[in-house]
Amino acid sequence: MQPAMQLAACASLALVAPVQAIYHRAHDSQAALLKDEGQHSLQAQTPFGGSGSASASIVAYYIADNCSEPAHCVSDVAECDVAASLFGLSAGYWPSVAYGGNCAKWDGGWGGVSSNSSTWYYYYANNQAGAQSICKMPTYVVATTSTCDTGYSPITDTAECDAAGGVLGFTLGYWGPWNYGGSCAQWGAGWGSSTWYYHYASNQVGAKPICKLSQYVTATTSCPNGYAAITDTAECDAAGTALNLTPGAFVSQPYGGSCAQWDGGWGSWGGSWYWYTASTQTGASLICAAVTAPPTPSPTPSPTAVGATGDPHLQNIRGERFDVMKQGRHVLINIPLGMSAGNALLRVEAEARHLDKKSCADMYFQVLNVTGAWAEVKQTGGYHFEAENVDGETSKWIGFQKVELKVVHGRTQQGTLYLNFYVKHLGRTGLAVGGLLGEDDHSDAESAPEECKQRISLLAQSADLQNHGSSLSEAVALLD
């Protein structure tokens, strides 16, 4: 398979719908974060070198429902961190859990629980409902037709052609430097080889251009994927120069919009003019900057967290995060603190079970009971939830006085059913809250039994997220 054909869409999601873009360009070694019509822009200079030298390597990122060729999903953990930081995203709770897929912007399913979840990202989650892929446009690609894809341009510099060929895994064909016509291209020269490239052969039968990511492009209505409108005047000047344009007669006049190519109403006389703010004018074309970032970092090992092997993840009202390592029944919420089960206003108990009696690693919440005076008022006997049974109350917020809770069913990639639990507004009760999600000590619950410690240690060293932690039980409590 040709390298260009390997850059296929990475998930079966919705149609492409980019929602954010940034471009990264250095000014006196400082970065300026700009905002323009809902887009986050961080600019940095990575221009191509002059004649006879290879280009500086740049890639472009964007966020969309799906990554379309030649872009592909970000799959490396370290690169996911880099790309997400450029969009101002922060890691969600347990971002290394293998929910499924690749790097993604996703609220983790906590949209109604945390106001910050709209800016979270996860390493493996772009196939989750509501998630959006973080996409990468590579520096070099092989065109799928006889012309370069949008955002890419032909390579005419021989040094850069060699660099591109190397990145794509090609070798220089026989008489590779010969000027057959056109630009840098992948071509079998009639020999049937799919791994040869030539400096000048794009116009030959069967040849496909090798293209480089363009720093700047023009667009008629909106910037394409991986590009953003330019609002900085210095950046507009740089873009105009790169596109062989000249400043309009009154380049600083605020005609409206962003940096644009426009004739100023002079027709052919102004065909090569650009303006700082004129994209809203009739006949104007947007000038867009590539959403670029530093070269892709080297891959890093997956985190070696014990909690990644299936143990329920909890966050209490203090914000402390820990894993339940003991099988059995655990009190998650007890109001007021220290009150007996028979006299509590609200009490939530969950039962954690191992999936396999021979395994000490994979454990999930299977049963959850909500009792107490407040629950009794709502429903005689309180509420009972089981992972195997989905009823009408699950996935809905249920109010108990000023407290609200929700139970959500989950399923691992292996088909195991489990329960997640969320509770909010605990601070509004005016009462001390007990339980693992409250103020009770959790050191015992997070201590693994002796017979499991060796097994857990081995799993932590392997960090086999794909085989063990496709999804995890979670329980989260918020005061507000």
DSSP letter for each residue of 187-225:
--TTTT-SSEEESB-TTSTT-EEEEEE-SEEEESSSPPT
Give the mean pLDDT of the chain: 77
Same domain, 29 and 87: yes
Q: Which residue has the higher pLDDT, 184 or 409?
A: 184
Total of domains in the chain = 3
Domain co-membership, 93 together with 199: no
Of 213, 229, 264, the last residue of a domain is: 213
| 57-77 burial: b if 16+ Cβ within 10 Å, else e | bbbbbbbbbbbbebbbbbbbb
How confident is the model over 398-415, as a mean pLDDT?
83
Inform me whether the pLDDT recorded for 19 exceeds 50.
no
User: Residue 221 carries which side chain, given as an amino acid letter?
Assistant: T
Whether residue 100 lies inside any domain: the answer is yes
One domain, residues 337 and 472:
yes
Q: Is residue 286 part of a domain?
A: no
pLDDT at position 364 over 80: yes
Task: Residue 378: give its domain's CATH number.
Answer: 3.40.1000
**36 and 98, same domain (yes or no):** yes
Given pLDDT bands bounded at 50, 70 and 90, which one contains residue 307? very low
- Residue 284 maps to a domain: no
Structural domain of 99: 3-137
Cβ(410)–Cβ(385) under 8 Å? no
pLDDT in tens, 200-210: 999 999 999 99
Give the pLDDT score at 406: 85
Rounded to whole angstroms, how far apart are CA atoms 19 and 130?
A: 13
H-helix or E-strand containing 239?
A: helix 233-242
- Which pLDDT value is given to residue 35? 28
Does residue 114 belong to any structural domain of this protein? yes
Judge if 110 and 165 occupy the same domain. Answer: no
Rounded Cα–Cα distance for residues 478 and 361 (Å) = 28
- 199 vs 159, 172, 187, 203, 236, CA distance in Å? 9, 8, 10, 11, 32
Residue 374 maps to a domain: yes
State the pLDDT at residue 413.
66
Residues 473, 337, single domain; the answer is yes
Q: Determine which of 13-17, 440-444, 445-449 has the lowest per-residue pLDDT on average.
A: 13-17
Residues 192 and 79 in one domain: no
Residues 114 and 194 in one domain: no
What is the reported pTM?
0.55
- Claim to verify: residue 470 and residue 336 sit in the same structural domain: yes
Asked which of 105, 137, 169 is the last residue of a domain, the reply is: 137
In 3D, which of 153, 168, 159, 100 has the Cα closest to residue 128?
A: 100
Residue 283 lies in a domain: no
Q: What is the pLDDT of residues 113-172, one digit of tens each?
A: 667 888 999 999 999 999 999 999 999 999 989 999 989 999 999 999 999 999 999 999
Q: Based on the fold, state whether residues 334 and 410 are members of the same structural domain.
A: yes
